[in-house]
Structure 1
Amino acid sequence: MTASRLLSVLLLLQSRGRMSAQGIAEELEVSVRTAYRDLTRLQAAGIPVYAEPGRGGGYQLLEGYRTRLTGMSEGEARALFFAGLPGPAAELGLAEEVTAARLKLLAALPTGARAEAARTAAVFHLDAPGWYREPEPAPHLPLLVDAVLTRRAVDVRYRRWRAPQEVDRRLHPYGLVLKSGTWYLVAATAKGVATYRAGQVLEAALSDELFERPGDFDLGAYWAGYLADFTARRYTGSATIRLSPRGRRRLPDNVPPEVVRSVDATATAVGDEGWVEAVIPTESTGHACGELLRLGVDVEVVAPAELRRAVAATVEVLARTYALP
C-alpha cells in the first residue's frame, strides 16, 4: 500500500507541478503527517523532490525530471478505453485525435494489458441520447471546444425560450457538459456564470480576447449545483394521485425520475386491489395534466381541485371527439 501511495505522490507532482503537503494529503485522503513522511521517502529513494518555502510554496520535482514508470494494471487498461469512447469525441471534433491517442497508448502497453484493453473496447459502446429522442445537432460545437481549450472569448447569437428569443452574447467558455445526448456550454458573462444549450447557438465566432478561468472553478461542482437549482425551480407545486399496480409499473416510462422517486417515497396502499396513493411534484397544472393523462385509466388525480378539473375537462373533450354515432 505504501509503495502504491508513493507512486501516486510521484505522479501527482509530475502532473500537477508544485503542491503543498496539505494538497497532497487531501488528494490521497491521508493525513498531512503521512504526506510529509511519503515526501521524505521519495527524497531518500533518490527522487529529486525539493521544497519551496514561503507563501505559495510547496513540493515539486526538479525541472525536466520525468518518471519512466510504464506499468499499468488491468483495471487501468480497461479505464483507458472508457476515456476514448468515439461518439462524444466525434461530436467535439476530436475523433481522429482520440483514435490516434488510443493506438499509441495501446502500443505502449505490455502484452497482457494490451489484450485486456482490446477486450474491453470490444464489449462497451456509448449511446448517449435517451430513448424516444434524436441527438440534438450542435454545428458550432467544435468551435466552442476550441474556445474552451484556448481560453478565447466567443461571440454568439443564441436562441432562448423567452423574449427576445434571439440574443447576442460575448461568452468566456469555462467547459462543456454532455447530458442525455445534449451538449451544454458553461460560460461566464458580465452578469456571472450561466449555462447555454450548444444546439441553440445559431452563430459563433472566436474573438481575439483571452481570458483566465478562475482557479477555484470546478465544472463538476457547478453542474451538480445547476441541476439542483433547476429541479428546485422546475417543480413549484404538488399533487396527490392514486395509481393502479399497472400504472405504477408504467410510471418510469412516462414521467421524470423525480416524480417516480416521490411516488416510491410517499406511496401508501388504498383499497384492496393494489392501488396506492402518493404525493408528486408538479411544474404547472397544464404540464401535470398532460403527463398524467399518459397513464390513462391507471391514474386518478385526488388533489388539487384545479388539476382534477383540468384532467376531467380534457377527458370530456376526448369523449366527445371519439363518441360513436
Structure 2
Amino acid sequence: MKSARLVSILLLLQTRGRMTAADLAQELEVSVRTVYRDVEALSSAGVPLYGDAGHAGGYRLLDGYRTRLTGLTAGEAEALFLAGVPGPAAELGLGPLLAAAQLKVRAALPRELRAHADRISGRFHLDAPGWYADAADGAAPFLPAVADAVWNSRVLHVLYRRWREPTDVRRRLEPYGLVLKAGRWYVVAGPGPRTFRVDQILELATRDEEFTRPDGFDLGAYWTGYQRDFHDRLHRAEAVVRLAPGVRLAGPAGDAVRANGRTEQGGWIRATVPIESVEHAHAEFLRLGMGIEVLEPAALRARIADTVAGLARTYGAVSTGRGEAT
C-alpha cells in the first residue's frame, strides 16, 4: 500500500508540477503527516524532490526528472490498454497518435506486465454504437474541426439543425469539451453552457477569436448533471401498471417498480412508474403483451385497448389469403 502511494506521489508531482502537502493529502485521501513521511522516504531513496516554504511553496521534482512506468500494477496496465478505443480516436484524427502512444507505453512496461496488456487487448474489444445504427447514423464530418477548436479555445460559428421550429439556426459557440455517448458526439459549449449534437452541425466556420474557458468548469460533472436533468424532463408523466410475475421494466420505470411496487394476488406487482408520454408508453408497454396491465391514465389504457381490439379484428377475421374475411 505504501509503495503504491509513493509511486502516486511521484507521478502526481511529475504531471502537475508543484503541489503542497495538503494538496497531496487530499488527492491521496491520507493525512498531511503521512505525506510528510512519504516525501521523506522518497528523498531517502534518492528521488530529487525539493520542498519550498512560504505561501507559494510546496513540493516539486528537479526540472527534467522523469520516472519510468515501472510503478504500474498488472491491473493498471490491463485497464490502460482496455481504455484505448480506436474508433473514437480515429474519428478525432488521433488514431496514429493513439497507436504510437500505446506502443511507447508497451515498450516501457516490464515483460510480465507487457504480457498482461497483450492479453487484455486481445480478449476485449469496445464497440460503442448500438446494433441498429447504420454507418451514416451519427456521422459528424465537422468533428475534427470542433475538436481542434476545443483544444485551441477557438470560437465557432455554425449553422445548426434542431428539432423544433425554426429548425436551422446560426449559433456562436465557445466549445468547452466533447462527449461521446452511445456512438454520438456532443459538444458542450458556452455561453450557458449548452449541449449540441456534432452530427447536426450543417456548416462550420472557425474564427480567429479565442475564448476563456470558465474557471472550475468540470466537463464530467456537467455531463452527469445534464443527463440527470434530461431524464427528469423526459419522464414528466406517470402511469399505474400491474406486472405479471417475472416481468421487468428497465430504466427509471424499473427503478420506480423496485421503490414503490407492491405484490398483489397471484404474484402480480402494482406500481406507479414514470413515462415520457402516452404515445411513447403505448409503444413500450405493448411490447410486453399480456405481461402488463395499464390501469392509469385512462387515455393510455384506452389507446392500448383500441390497439389490441384492432389487432384482434385483423387476425381474428383472417382465414386464408391476404386479409380475406370469412
Q: TM-score range by the shorter chain?
A: 0.7 to 0.9
Post-superposition offset of 1:3 = 3.1
Gaps of 5+ in 1: none
Query: Residue 245 of structure 1: SS of its match in structure 2?
Result: coil
Alpha-carbon displacement from aligned partner over 1:63-108 (angstroms, at most 9, x marks no partner) = 3333356443222221221232212212222111111211222222
CA distance in 1, matches of 2:281, 2:306: 14
Alpha-carbon displacement from aligned partner over 1:207-229 (angstroms, at most 9, x marks no partner) = 21122323411111111111111
CA gap of 1:62–1:22, structure 2 versus 1, over 3 A, is: same
CA distance in 2, matches of 1:194, 1:151: 16
Number of equivalences: 315
Paired amino acid for 2:155: A
CA gap of 1:43–1:51, structure 2 versus 1, over 3 A, is: farther
Within a 5 Å distance, the mapping from 1:78-93 to structure 2 comes to 78-93=78-93
2:283 corresponds to which residue? 290
CA distance in 2, matches of 1:199, 1:19: 41
2:72 corresponds to which residue? 72
Gaps of 5+ in 2: 318-324
Match of 2:264 among 270, 277, 281: 270
TM-score by length of 2: 0.88
Post-superposition offset of 1:12 = 0.5
CA distance in 2, matches of 1:323, 1:285: 27
Alpha-carbon displacement from aligned partner over 1:150-172 (angstroms, at most 9, x marks no partner) = 22122221111122111111211
Post-superposition offset of 1:281 = 0.2
2:98 corresponds to which residue? 98
Post-superposition offset of 1:34 = 2.2
1:224 corresponds to which residue? 224
Paired amino acid for 2:182: S
Alpha-carbon displacement from aligned partner over 1:29-56 (angstroms, at most 9, x marks no partner) = 11233223433444455523232522x5
* Percent of paired sites with the same residue: 54
TM-score by length of 1: 0.88
Answer yes or no: is the 8 Å Cα contact 1:42–1:49 preserved in 2. no
- More off after superposition, 31-40 vs 282-291: 31-40
1:152 corresponds to which residue? 154
| 1:165 and 2:158 aligned | no
Alpha-carbon displacement from aligned partner over 1:180-213 (angstroms, at most 9, x marks no partner) = 1121111112xx1111112211222222112232
1:51 corresponds to which residue? 52
Query: Residue 204 of structure 1: SS of its match in structure 2?
Result: strand
CA gap of 1:4–1:92, structure 2 versus 1, over 3 A, is: same
CA distance in 2, matches of 1:132, 1:51: 58
CA distance in 2, matches of 1:202, 1:57: 50
Post-superposition offset of 1:57 = 4.5
Query: Residue 314 of structure 1: SS of its match in structure 2?
Result: helix
CA RMSD of aligned residues (A): 2.2
Answer yes or no: is the 8 Å Cα contact 2:49–2:59 preserved in 1. no
CA distance in 1, matches of 2:35, 2:245: 56
Post-superposition offset of 1:318 = 4.3
2:321 corresponds to which residue? none
2:142 corresponds to which residue? 140
CA gap of 1:3–1:108, structure 2 versus 1, over 3 A, is: closer
Answer yes or no: is the 8 Å Cα contact 1:25–1:31 preserved in 2. yes
CA distance in 1, matches of 2:263, 2:30: 49
CA gap of 1:180–1:62, structure 2 versus 1, over 3 A, is: same
Answer yes or no: is the 8 Å Cα contact 1:259–1:281 preserved in 2. yes
Answer yes or no: is the 8 Å Cα contact 1:21–1:32 preserved in 2. yes
Answer yes or no: is the 8 Å Cα contact 1:17–1:60 preserved in 2. yes
CA gap of 1:184–1:280, structure 2 versus 1, over 3 A, is: same
Answer yes or no: is the 8 Å Cα contact 1:151–1:210 preserved in 2. yes
CA distance in 1, matches of 2:68, 2:276: 57
- More off after superposition, 130-139 vs 78-87: 130-139
Within a 5 Å distance, the mapping from 1:142-221 to structure 2 comes to 142-189=144-191, 192-221=192-221
